[in-house]
Every structure is written in structure tokens, then in C-alpha cells.
Structure 1
């Protein structure tokens, strides 16, 4: 299936290149984002030849499968060659959307065996991610795998090793790491705009039944139409038929990874990208069932705290994670980088920097013990303080705030897929490869482990291994 959107996409990218991406008052109005946009313009101006075409197959055509395929097909030269899903209604939907000639199957191995498929998009239940990735690499396919890359921490090293051995491109689906917004936040942090980093607060709250994964279940759902036995085969368990576990799978630990695997993973991926971090060394989490008591066995409200060590890439900092599926805020998404001289707020691709810089002189007077001393002592110490510190040194320093807004219509999801297909065509390295994916997935999954065992999980971020 061809996609011919290069003209409109190129026009949009030219607008990016002509846009001032940071407030004019900012001392960091670099050309980094503009250069990235110009690089994209060259890519889309290039005529796509037969050798440049990438044919893809999609495993899992649910909500994320639809979104992933839609974004992938916006990249010029990408063609759809087949779709796999266990539910026939989704295969019918695929043919209604992409034509009756489209190859469809309920057995993902049939996609892997097709010689005309170059890359596989894995958009399935978490429990299948590692198995399908390994199988696809063994068949010589490039792999785009939705986050989390793995269902169990023990699956991480085998996937990383297989990716390296295969020589194929593996990219994990946390699209924020390809966004121009996070690139700007990363640049500002590295430039010392907020001083020395010491904490990151990251929140992704929702307040809706759909946000809590209560997706519509079709009227014809049954063990036969959902191919239930094939669906649960990977678990090694005899799980009684439950359509919720098929369509609301994120909420059930037999096949999904809850808010940690769905949303903590995004917050971790973004934080690791902006800080260049390899990961935390201590992880603890807690959760509760507050509202969505629908049979799920993973909580609808969860918080995590992670300690990151002092490394050559970044100073020691603490990361807090929060997901609330019944938040009276109406839902919010915010990552706040807190430093010694200010904060960087990341809301999608909008970046705001606010400064708060302490005066050079130490505190003296006001809410201080000074007023409890005798008058003579107060006057003597006041003279000493004024002699040592100038009025300028006693003032808080000020810097103008920075506000960065992406161009209207910017789509980080398409950018993420562009990076994936560029890597396939040119051999360049993607940001979110298997190792990056493992470094983000392991701490997220460790939050579930901590919640279930009520213990602190110790992690070696360099060796990527659990500590005893």
C-alpha cells in the first residue's frame, strides 16, 4: 500500500525550518532543531526508488496497531504488506481500510515467512513482545516493537544480544525520545540552564474509562473468535477464557504490565533521553485500587521513587513517577526537571524554563535566629555582614524565562517512525534501540515487582542486572 504524502509533509517541514523555535530572549536559541528539520527536508525531497522502499507487516491491529501503522505510512516509501491479529473483526477492518487484496493472518509466523516483508511492527500484548522480537530477528526482519520491549526483566539480555547479532534495526516504541521538544529540553539541561539537576517529577494522570483501558468489547467475542488458546499459549498457564484479558490486557498481570509498563515506561524513556542516564540503582513503588474495580489485578493509582547515582553523564538525582487513573485534575502529563537554579517543565513538546537563583551571600535576617540575639550582638553582626557582602551579592539573580513551542501540527510519532525507516535505509543508529529499551523497561517492571513484594528493588544500571 503506497503513501504519497511527501509534498504536504515537506511543506510542513519547511515551515519548521522557518520558525523561531525558542523565545527570542533565550540565550540558547540554537539551530539544533532547525538543522534536524532541514535534514528531514532533504530526506523527503529525495526521490524514493525501488531500493528505498520498505515493506512492513503489522502484528497486532488493536488501538496502538492502528496508530502505529497510520504514522508509519506517512513516511514516504513505506508500504503495507500484511497484518496479523487474532480477532477476525480486526482483519476485516484491515481489509476495509487497506483493500481486499491485503494479506491477513491469525498466525504471526506467516508474516515472518513472507519474503516481501522487510520490517515488522509488533503492537501486541506485552507478554508476546520478546518472543515475537526474537522470532522476527531470526527471520531477518527489522523490528519496531511497542513498549515495554519485554514482559519480564529476564527477557532483556536475550533480546539485546539477538538484536546485536542480527545486524537489523530494532527500535522500541516510546516516541517521545524522537521529539523535537525533548531534544530542546535535553539541550537546555546540558547547557546548565537550571544549574545542577537533583530531582525529576514525572506524572501521567487520566480520568476516563477509556484512559483506564476499559475498551469496547465486540459482541461476537468468544474463545473461538479470539483464538483464546493461541493468545494465552505464551504464558504457559491454563487461564480461563476472559474477554477482558484479551481487550483490556494491560490491567492483568498474566498478560500485561499495568500502568508501569504502559505509562511509567514513557516517563522513564523521556527522562533517560534528556539526562543521558543508564538508569537508577534503587526502585520502590506503591499502588492501590481506587476506582476501576473491574476485575483488574494491577492498580489504577501507582507511584514510584527511583534513585539515580552520580555518574559522568549526570549528577545524582531522584525520580518520582505518578499515574492516577481517577485524577480530579481531569488528566495531566508533566515531567519537571528540577535543578539548583530553576526548573524545566516538559508538557508534550512544549518546554518552559523558569529560574530561581539563590543570592551569592548566605541568609541573614528575616526568618532567622538573628532576632533572638541581644541588640548589641545583632548590630555588631549586621555591620560584619554588610562589610563582607555587597548589596549586589545579597540579591537574588534573575534570568528571563524560556518558552519553547513546537510548530503547529508537529507529530513526534511520525518522527519516531521516520528515524526507524531512515536507520533501515542508511544504517544510522536509532536512539531507542534494544539496549535503550531494556534500560527503560527494567526499572518500569521493577516497579511492579516492588509493589507486589513490598520491597526495594536494587538494580545495576551499567550491567543491566538485578542485585541480590
Structure 2
């Protein structure tokens, strides 16, 4: 019976932001280390068919399309990629009758396409997004939304002018885990927030973006001249096309790939608009393969005291040769405990200071005369009761997602529901830019060895 109580499953409706029939305070008082399953039963609707095009059919393009097609009423209408091998792969997967092209503008011209996924190299995100919105397409753009901070305002303005839905692809912000973490923080379960430690480590060549390069890769098979239209002239380089995240000419490194996930999640949980100061440093530790963006990087950001949250410091870490074997966790540190978020798994551990001030132990009291020690001990014990001197106890809690839960599908469900209903998305252009700008500022800080000052409300760099 005791073990049954320890394994008690408290069903939580995350998207009603409900905690069952009991308030958090009473649940937290139950037996130590309960495991509570986050239950999520989101209804799918398919009242209106949505025809989807994909621009960029690499690794993330494949993953995005698979998730998108799990949402009822969504149909694939076309795929664009510069590399001929991926065009062939698209037809092998979805049939010879599928419309394919190497020119994204041809895909945007098709009247039978309602929405597009943009999963290209970072350097192309803003350009294709602007063109797609101008053509009346709804846009799902992979993170970071922009390659340069200066591109952000134009994308936000274009989305507002078009009236179309723009969703940025940091899929974790649609997860039931972050929804619950947001609720728990707001409920004061770890006291007053003062620090967030966010880590996204890896330990593999693929994790470090050393993707397999096809044997037929060349300037013609990758349409290199079209590819460099937004970069300026560069000699053909297979690595810059297939390992692009590692190169500042076309990608945004660990900051744009992984820092931005940590930033998006932190902003969602805390309701933050962003940091005020940003500093980053990095090094080349292991993957010395010609890349010009580091494989180990850390960032420190200071968030101000606002109506949405108290002042807190955010530390960011990515290590591509981590002896941990790889680890992703965001730790929210408060005055009364910590909340670790690992994917959709949440653990809360509390440590609460006693009401009484410290006295004795590792203290200066033992250095006083015995008479003074005795006198002050007597006064302390008379003033503070044993209960006031003890640390209050609150049990640990863990939350876990139901088997088979997929936050990526949730993110696309949110996108397509917004198209059908007109309701706002969880990660629009403004949210996406407020996550992208601090991430990209980390690269600027690293490359120029300076602190970046940012206005999170007006979304502008400060001089």
C-alpha cells in the first residue's frame, strides 16, 4: 500500500492548466516523491483542408513534415530543395506525382498551397518568409526566425501586414511540460525566481553537425549559385552546404540552434520579454573540422525586474564533447527550491530557510569567550522556538508526460488550428524574434568580445 501511494498518479490537464481536483498546496503535502502523470488529450479537428509546401527538405524538413502530416486535414502539395538528391528522396517517399522544384518561388506561385514550412539554412529564413507572406501563404519557419538581428522588425511588420499566421519552430514551447512548469513557477512552488541554468550538451559527431555528405555533392547538384544569392559570392564548399550550422556565413552555430531552444522555453515559463545584457564566450575544443563557430559555448544574460517576473540571471551552456554523453536540462532556481525541466519531465525539490537567523555551527560564536557563548546561546534559544529554527519541509514532486506524447505534433496542431480559427499561435513573429535576438547577440558578443545591451520591450539593440 505504501508503494502504491508513492507511485500515486495524479492526472493533470495541462492545457486547461488544471491540477486535478486538488490545489497544488494539498497535493504537495502528500507522500514524498509522488510521480504525477501529465495527461493530455487534445482534440484534433480537420474542418478545413490545408495544403502544405515544404521549402528545405533536409533533416529538420523531414522531421517537420512527418509531424505536420499527423494533424488531420493536412495534405502535402509540394517540396522544394536545392540538392537534387533530396528532390529524388521526396519523390521516393511521397510518389512521383508530387510537385517538386529547386526554386522556392515556383512553389510559392502555386495557388493550391496554403502554407509552407521553411526549414532551410538560417541565412535564407527571413528572405523566404517575407516572400511567402507577400504571396499570401501561412508560414511555419524554423528557428531562429532570422539570421541577423536587423532582419527581425521587417518580418514582424510583414506578418502583421499580411494577416497570415507565422509560427516559429521552437516546438518545445507547445509542450505540456513547459505549460506545467509555467504553472508551477507562477504558483510559487520554488519561491521567488532568481536564476535559470540552461544546458544543452551533446557528445557525437552528428550532434556536432558533421552530417554525412553525399558522394554526388558539387556546385551543380546543390545549385550553389542560387544558394549564395543571399550570402554574396563564395567558392563552392560542401561543408558550408551540408554542415552549414558550423559556419557563420550561412548558419548561426550553437547559439542559433540550441541556445534559442533554451531561451524560448525560459521566456515561455517566466513570461519574459527578454534580457537586458548579454555576454558570451566560446572555444574550439574537439571538432576542429574547419568550422568557424565554436563547439563549446557559454552565455550569461541578465533579466530585469519587471511586472512579469523578478530579476534573474540566465546562464546558457552547450558542450559538443561533453563527458556526460549529452544532457538537456533547464533549472529554475528560486528562494525555496529548484525546478528541473528535462524535455517534458519536471522535478521539484524544495529547500526553505528557517525563520530564525543562523547561530552556532560554522559561525563565529565558538571564537568568543565561554561566558559570552553561554549568554548569547541562552538569549537565542529564548527568542526563537525549535520550530522557528528548523527548516520547513515540503516534499519533492515529479511530473512525467504520458507514453507517446509528441510536442512536435502539438506545435503543428497549434499552427494549423490558428490557420483555421484565427486564434493566435504560441510562438508568433514577436515571440520568435525575442528569442532569436538574444541568441544571435551571443554570437556578436563572442566574435567581438563585448557585452551586448538589449531593449527587450522595444526589441532594439542599445548603443
TM-score by length of 1: 0.92
Partner Cα distance (1:260, 1:389) in 2: 50
Encode CA deviations 1:353-382: one digit per residue, 9 max, x unaligned.
000000000000000011111111111111
Question: C-alpha displacement at 1:21, in angstroms?
Answer: 8.0
Secondary structure of 1:94 counterpart: helix
TM superposition shift of 1:22: 8.7
1:108-257 mapped onto 2 (5 Å cutoff): 108-235=104-231, 237-257=232-252
Question: Is 2:207–2:320's contact at 8 Å kept on the other side of the alignment?
Answer: yes
The equivalent residue for 1:3 is: none
Task: Give 1:15 deviation, angstroms.
Answer: 11
**Mapped contact 1:22–1:402 kept (Cα < 8 A):** no
State the distance in 2 between where 1:130 and 1:381 align.
Answer: 68
Aligned partner of 1:67 in structure 2 is 63
Q: Does 2:304 match 1:309?
A: yes
Alpha-carbon distance in 1 for matches of 2:14, 2:268: 22
CA RMSD of aligned residues (A): 2.2
* 1:76 aligned partner: 72
**How far does the alpha carbon of each residue in 1:157-208 deviate from its partner, in whole angstroms, 9 at most, with x for none?**
1101111111111000000100000111110000000000000000000000
2:7 alignment partner in structure 1: none
The one of 420, 427, 442 equivalent to 1:447 is: 442
Return closer, same or farther for 1:241/1:346 CA change in 2, 3 Å cut-off.
same
Q: Report Cα offsets for 1:369-415 as digits up to 9, x if no partner.
A: 11111111111111111111111000000101110000011000000
SS at match of 2:25: coil
Tell me the equivalent position of 1:27: 25
2:297 match: secondary structure:
strand
Contact 2:54 2:119 in 1 (8 A): yes
Q: Is the 8 A contact 2:79 2:99 kept in 1?
A: yes
Q: 1:201 to 1:80 in 2, by over 3 A?
A: same
Deviation at 1:35, TM superposition (A): 11
Secondary structure (helix, strand or coil) at the match of 2:219 reads: coil
Secondary structure in 2 matching 1:220: coil
1:189-234 Cα offsets, whole Å, 9 max, x none, are 0000000000000000000000000001111111000100111110
Q: Structure 1 69/195 Cα, relative in aligned 2: closer, same or farther at 3 Å? A: same
1:388 aligns with 2:388: no
Who is 2:87 aligned against? 91
Equivalent residues of 1:57, 1:117 under 8 A apart: yes
Aligned partner of 2:269 among 265, 274, 297: 274
Distance 1:15 1:256 in 2: 39
Structure 1: which 5+ residue stretches go unaligned? 1-12
Q: How many equivalent pairs are there?
A: 444
Q: CA 1:14 to 1:83, structure 2 compared with 1: closer, same or farther past 3 Å? A: farther
Structure 1 ranges of 4+ moved more than 6 A:
13-17, 20-25, 33-36
1:29 to 1:66, Cα distance in 2 relative to 1, 3 A? farther
Q: Work out the CA distance in 1 between the residues paired with 2:19 and 2:400.
A: 7
Distance 1:28 1:61 in 2: 49
Unaligned runs of 5+ residues in structure 2 are 1-10, 29-35
Residue aligned with 1:199, SS = strand
Cα contact 2:38–2:400 (8 A) shared by 1: no
Contact 2:37 2:400 in 1 (8 A): no
Alpha-carbon separation, structure 2, partners of 1:103 and 1:351:
43
> Quick one: which of 347, 351, 375 aligns to 2:342?
347
